[in-house]
């Protein structure tokens, strides 16, 4: 009897799922009148340039048209970082001192100190200009995290504040969700643009898109830096 009920339930779910997919009309924009139906790509490209004033079409799709999905991706990254940190927290106390790349090399330490600000600046540039050129929040955040990785490998006593990382990560997440809710409160939908779009190819263009990408950049940088520090840093406790 249970098997029959399960099969009936699966059949009902499958039927309505298939019906929903067939009603979507793949390759077409369902929000456009039937007399003006265009492929989705054409609608996105037109709105990207004409309405959002964004030069990077990929950015407008990732942050605007499917911004809710991007919020989910950032949430998955946060949960993954939290899980990894909780797993490694106890294990790292049983390891010796953190190894460095070349602890006795002044060339590496001096070069790392020189390159670190440039790497952070490059990462910030990538996510601030994500709506104008290739790049964005994820790429810029990863670049910044590699800067901290370089410092952790070059300096044995280099440390990162977990409290500071948590504050940056929390503020970035609140900014992302808050901007989305403001779009909803202004009579639109979640993450709908409510700011002036500006002029195409200008830094201050794209409405809320640059704000969201900056928030994503800081959040990704903080999360990945936290993972790197947790993996590499040990407290040097000796047991036995």
Residue 236 is predicted with a pLDDT of: 45
Residue 89 is predicted with a pLDDT of: 62
CB 99 within 8 A of CB 92: no
Residues of the chain with pLDDT under 70: 23-38, 88-104, 233-240
What is the model's pTM?
0.73
Residue 104 is predicted with a pLDDT of: 55
Residue 102 is predicted with a pLDDT of: 53
Residue 20: count of CB within 10 angstroms of its CB: 9
Size of the chain in residues:
240
Residue 194 is predicted with a pLDDT of: 86
């Amino acid at each position: 009897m249970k098997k029959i009920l399960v099969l009936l339930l699966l059949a009902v779910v499958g039927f309505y799922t298939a019906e929903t997919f067939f009603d979507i009309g793949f390759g077409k924009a369902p929000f456009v009148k039937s007399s003006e139906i265009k492929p989705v790509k054409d609608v996105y490209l037109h709105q990207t340039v004409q309405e959002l004033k964004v030069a990077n079409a990929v950015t407008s799709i990732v942050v605007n048209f499917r911004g809710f999905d991007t919020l989910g991706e950032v949430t998955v990254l946060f949960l993954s970082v939290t899980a990894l940190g909780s797993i490694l927290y106890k294990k790292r106390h049983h390891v010796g001192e953190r190894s460095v790349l070349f602890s006795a090399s002044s060339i590496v330490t001096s070069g790392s100190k020189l390159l670190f600000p440039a790497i952070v600046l490059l990462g910030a540039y990538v996510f601030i200009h994500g709506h104008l050129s290739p790049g964005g929040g994820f790429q810029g955040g990863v670049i910044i995290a590699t800067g901290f990785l370089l410092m952790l490998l070059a300096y044995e006593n280099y440390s990162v504040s977990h409290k500071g990382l948590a504050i940056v990560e929390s503020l970035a997440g609140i900014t992302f969700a808050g901007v989305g809710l403001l779009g909803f409160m202004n009579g639109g939908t979640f993450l709908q643009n409510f700011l002036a779009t500006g002029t195409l190819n200008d830094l201050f263009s794209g409405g809320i898109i640059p704000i969201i990408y900056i928030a994503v950049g800081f959040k990704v940088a903080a999360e990945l830096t936290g993972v790197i520090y947790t993996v590499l840093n040990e407290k040097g406790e000796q047991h036995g």
